[in-house]
Amino acid sequence: MWKEENNQLVRNFEFTDFSEAFAFMTRVALLAEQHSHHPWWSNVYKSVEIRLSTHDAGDVVTDKDQRLADAIDKLM
């Protein structure tokens, strides 16, 4: 579930191993390109953290972030 904190939408994803986590990040990268909106993310082994905010709007959460979050959720 996405949560809003510090003017960002944040979600942590857990996978079975590094390969699954990296494959997920690859799919998210393709979505991000389609949405022209690129996340901040971190990956450690089987965990991926994604943070979304719109830089052009002053680093706050906008509909653009919500649309990308919804698209990412559909990958799960």
Digit-by-digit pLDDT tens for the chain (76 residues) are 999 999 999 999 999 999 999 999 999 999 999 999 999 999 999 999 999 999 888 888 999 999 999 999 999 9
19 CB contacts (<8 Å, ≥6 apart)? none
Q: Which domains does the chain have, with CATH numbers?
A: 3-73 (3.30.1360.20)
Asked whether the whole model's pTM tops 0.95, one would answer: no
Collapse the DSSP code of 46 into the 3-class scheme (helix H, G, I; strand E, B; otherwise coil) and give the result: coil
Q: How far apart are CA 70 and CA 47, in angstroms?
A: 19
